[in-house]
Amino acid sequence: MSARTVLHEADIARALTRISHEILESNRGADDLVILGIPTRGVILAKRIAATISSISGATIVSGALDVTMYRDDLAKHPTRAPQPTTLPPQGIDGRTVVLVDDVLYSGRTIRAALDALTDLGRPRVVRLAALVDRGHRELPIRPDFVGKNLPSSQAERIFVRLTEFDGDESVTIEGSGE
């Protein structure tokens, strides 16, 4: 199996800075903005995006985590991992702009589960989606609003996102046959 690095640490930092600027522009500022990451690496990316938006705008942006484990429609097919805590800002999500953050967007099923989870927690004014990597192969009509890197890949390939806080180093690699 061959592996190639498609994003290095500096590339990831640039992509997150660009996504942060795009979120601010789309939201017309930082008002009523909540950044929610999908565990595990999406939470790390959400924290970084919130910190970048805070430094750009001067406003304090809250990030949190949205666990979707029990909302997935493929629990029977795939062994489930232990649910992670969902953390929301004290003021909740009602009437706010929520940006969901995930590391890799693939079939769209994780995001569908995230939307179901959100409806149990409140009613945002609008929900946006940010993904570090969009690899295609959608099974549902879900499209990211903010993308770090479009990475067309075959279904035989796998994308691995490694982040310093979780993995000890930083990169995005693609592994597989590349068919």
Tens of pLDDT, residues 87-97? 999 989 999 99
Global pTM reads 0.93
CATH number of the domain located at residue range(s) 10-72+84-153 in this protein: 3.40.50.2020
pLDDT exceeds cutoff 60 at 99: yes
| CA separation for the pair 65, 89 (Å, rounded) | 10
Give the count of beta carbons closer than 10 Å to the beta carbon of residue 66.
28
Q: Which residue carries 């493929």 as its tokens? A: 74
pLDDT exceeds cutoff 90 at 12: yes
Domain boundaries, the chain: 10-72+84-153
